[in-house]
Copies of this chain bind each other. A is one copy, B any other.
Amino acid sequence: MTPAERERTSTARIATVQIKTGQIDWAALTDRVLACCADIAACTEVPGQITRTFLCAPMRDVHARLGSWAAELNLETQVDAGGNWRAVRRSADAAAPTLIIASHLDSVPNAGAYDGVLGVVLGLALLEAQGAVPLPYHVELVGFSEEEGVRFSVPFIGSRALIGTADVLLDLADTQGQTVAQAITAYGLDPAELDAARFVGEVLGYFEIHIEQGPVLEAEGRAAAPVSAIAGQARLNLSLTGKANHAGTTPMGLRRDALTGASELVLAAEELARQTPGLVATIGSMHVLPGASNVIPGEVQFTLDVRHAEDAVRMEALSKLLKRAEQIATERSLTFASELRMEERATPMDPGLGALLAAALEAEGRPAAPLVSGAGHDAMLVGQFWPAVMLFVRSPGGLSHHPDETVLPGDVEVALKVGTRFLRLLADQGR
């Protein structure tokens, strides 16, 4: 046995001992997590749906429900000026660093009950599972006020407040003309105190549990997986313009059909993504003009969404596709135009925290191969400042942003056990 192997076996053993004391009723704690998610799902702006945008009135009820569980655990709670719900479990060592456990409390319109909320509620359950066992780090649990970007068309207000970059958003207005600053004031908070929402102190790590919102874990028959990186992405508006003409009187050789050109690009994007491991490329929106059955399309307006865990791979793929589009336009006497609407760099998760999370999964007898997150998460912003890691929980049917979004209770129990081991492994890491 090498020293590294001995070390790993040793930390796994310690975590196992703790969990094997039998003091934790995992099934009951899982039930409590699911019941709390259901309670929070009842806090909504739109009756009959789950809809919670930045600092909407029902967010007070969410905070109250989390607060009553936090009170049982003797956590110090507050709502910061960015609208984040925060609860702290102090270590005996005041100078200890902090593990931040977080996810978001807002939702898309007509959402499911687990996107975001599950990670915050599981944070409470993880602290309950720790019980009175001392930890050599503080834990700060954060329920971010906003991640989905619904109300102000810009996402991540909560995590930006935590890392201290939210002040530039204060003057953004929603469709009613109310700014972020006014929304903060209307909720009874003070935008002038936004700077105090920034986390100051030594961060041991950032840990976010989130539903996968995709089909990979289900396809692989796995309950949960660590996330190795959040993919970078580029979104573009594209157009091909030819000439609208009569579908009956214009021979094939005299056409400048924008849709046949666009179809070539759709298939080129699919082929490139299939040939490039980890790349996804999507044309999700397409408008064909003028759009009559007997008129050759004169213009097609469409989008392109390209994502990969490595920025260089994504950028090379995008460059190839834009070159291909120019080539198609030349061959077909069309005009091609593109506009970069959004670009975000990839965020690698912390390899050290990833290895601990993998060890926790393996100790539970679970495969630990990491996934790349194709969707953006708060960990994407936080991960640029502090070491971050995510645990994905299987999404049945890959379904999310939909009222039918769900989780399997068995998977939530796995996440609880894995998270509990992760917290212990992190505690034992320095020994």
Residue ranges of A at the interface with B (Cβ–Cβ < 8 Å): 212-216, 219, 231, 233, 235, 245-254, 257, 259-260, 262-264, 266-267, 270, 273-274, 279-286, 288, 291-297, 303, 305, 307, 341, 373-376, 398, 400-401
Contact = CB atoms under 8 A, between A and B. Distances in A.
Contacts of A212: 249
Contact of A283 (B216, B259, B285): B259
Contact of A400 (B215, B246, B264, B291): B246
Given A282-B296, A292-B285, A296-B282, A233 B248 contact: yes
A247 B284 contact: yes
Contacts of A280: 247-248, 250-252
Contact of A254 (B216, B263, B303): B216
A258 to B, nearest CB: 11
Contacts of A279: 252
Among A250, A279, A375, residue most surrounded by chain B Cβ atoms (within 10 Å)? A250
Contact of A267 (B263, B284, B294, B401): B263
A272 B2 CA distance: 67
Given A215-B251, A284-B295, A286-B286, 15 more contacts: A214-B245, A214-B249, A215-B250, A233-B248, A235-B294, A246-B398, A246-B401, A247-B284, A248-B280, A249-B374, A249-B400, A262-B263, A283-B297, A284-B292, A285-B293
Contacts of A264: 263, 267
Given A235-B294, A252-B280, A285-B293, A247 B305 contact: yes
B288 A293 contact: no
Contact of A398 (B250, B267, B297): B250
B214 A246 contact: yes
Contacts of A260: 266-267, 270
20 contacts: A212-B249, A214-B249, A215-B249, A216-B251, A231-B248, A247-B284, A248-B305, A249-B375, A249-B398, A251-B280, A251-B374, A253-B274, A257-B282, A259-B286, A260-B270, A263-B264, A283-B297, A284-B294, A293-B305, A293-B341
Given A257-B270, A284-B297, A398-B245, A374 B250 contact: yes
Nearest to A401: B246
Nearest to A300: B286
A3 B267 CA distance: 62
A270 to B, nearest CB: 5
A214 B250 contact: yes
A248 B375 contact: yes
Contacts of A286: 259, 286, 288, 291, 297
A58 to B, nearest CB: 26
A64 B284 CA distance: 55
Contacts of A235: 293-294
Overall SS of chain A's interface = mixed
A248 B374 CA distance: 4
Contact of A282 (B247, B281, B291): B247
Contacts of A400: 246, 249
A284 B274 contact: no
A231 to B, nearest CB: 6
A22 to B, nearest CB: 37
A215 B374 contact: no
Among A249, A279, A286, residue most surrounded by chain B Cβ atoms (within 10 Å)? A249
Contacts of A297: 283-284, 286
A30 B398 CA distance: 70
Nearest to A282: B247
Contacts of A262: 263
A156 to B, nearest CB: 15
A295 B307 CA distance: 13
Among A214, A251, A254, A282, residue most surrounded by chain B Cβ atoms (within 10 Å)? A282
A275 B288 CA distance: 25
Nearest to A265: B263
Contacts of A216: 249, 251, 254
A307 B266 contact: no
